Chains A and B, each alone.
Chain A
Amino acid sequence: GAGVSQSPSNKVTEKGKDVELRCDPISGHTALYWYRQSLGQGLEFLIYFQGNSAPDKSGLPSDRFSAERTGGSVSTLTIQRTQQEDSAVYLCASSPPLLYGYTFGSGTRLTVV
C-alpha cells in the first residue's frame, strides 16, 4: 500500500486480556517505530526496529509489552494482561534507510475497560 497501515483502528478489551496490534509499513522501509500517545499527551517511544538488527526495546514500559517484526516487514505489538493505564493510541511509523521523514499510520485506539 501507499502508506503505513495499522489494524485494528479501534480495540476495546477487558482488563487482564492480551491484545495484538498490527503494523504494515511502507514497502522498502527498513526502520519501524512504535509509539503510544495517551489522551492530551505527546508521543512516547516504545520500540524501534532497523533492518535485521536487534530491536531497541528501551521504551517498553513493562515486560507485559513485546513486539516482533517478521521478515523485516509487518510488526506486531503485543500487550499481555492489559491494564487500564494501557489505554492509549498506539502509533506505528516507518522510514526508508536514508534521510527522509517518518511516515506514521493512523494508529490503533486501545481502550481497556
Chain B
Amino acid sequence: DAKTTQPPSMDCAEGRAANLPCNHSTISGNEYVYWYRQIHSQGPQYIIHGLKNNETNEMASLIITEDRKSSTLILPHATLRDTAVYYCIVSSPLTSGGSYIPTFGRGTSLIVHP
C-alpha cells in the first residue's frame, strides 16, 4: 500500500499556481519526500525531493510541514504542458547494500486549462 495520500484530481488555470497536496503521516525520520509526474504515454519524470527543508528548483517548489506529515508541490505558473499525473512518494536513501522499494499510489491527475 502507498504510504501517501493525494487527491485523485485537481484543475488549475493556465498561468496560475498549482498547489498539489500530499499526506504522509507515517513518514519516518530518514525518509525523503519525492515528487514525480507522468505525462500521458511516458514514464514518470522526477521533479523534486526534500527531507524537511523547503526546496526549489527550475521545475517546482516543495513545501514540507514542520512535523513532516504533509507536503505541497507548487508549480508557480502552470502551463498546459504541466497537465499530468503527479505522484508523491516517500523513500529512504539508497546506500550500498541497502534497499527500498518506492510505492506509487494513484497520484493526482492535474488538468491545466486555458
**Interface-side segment among A44-52, A65-73, A80-88:** A44-52
* Subset of 14 A-B contacts with CB under 8 Å: A30-B94, A42-B104, A43-B87, A45-B101, A45-B104, A50-B98, A93-B43, A96-B94, A98-B94, A98-B95, A103-B46, A104-B43, A106-B43, A107-B43
A42 touches B107 (CB 8 A): yes
Task: Tell me if A50 and B99 are in contact (CB < 8 A).
Answer: yes
Selected contact of B44 from candidates A48, A53, A104, CB within 8 Å: A104
A42 CA to B44 CA in the complex, in Å? 11
A14 contacts partner chain B, Cβ-Cβ < 8 Å: no
Q: Mark A19-46, 1 if CB is under 8 A from B, else 0.
A: 0000000000011010100000111010
Q: Sorted from nearest, which 4 A-B pairs have the closest CB atoms?
A: A104-B43, A101-B46, A43-B104, A99-B93
* B interface list, Cβ under 8 A from A: 2, 32, 34, 36, 42-46, 49, 87, 93-99, 101-107
* Interface: A97 (CB within 8 A): yes
B36 and A101 contact, CB distance less than 8 A: yes
Are B95 and A51 within 8 A (Cβ)?
no
Which A residues are CB-close (under 8 A) to B42? 106-107
Most buried by A among B45, B99, B107: B99
- The CA-CA distance from A95 to B92 in the complex, in Å, is 13
Given the known A-B contacts A91-B44, A101-B34, A101-B49, are A42 and B106 also in contact in the complex, defined by CB atoms under 8 Å?
yes
A104 touches B97 (CB 8 A): no
Contacts A42-B104, A48-B101 given; does A98 touch B93 at CB 8 Å: yes
Q: Which chain B residues border A96 with CB–CB below 8 Å?
A: 94
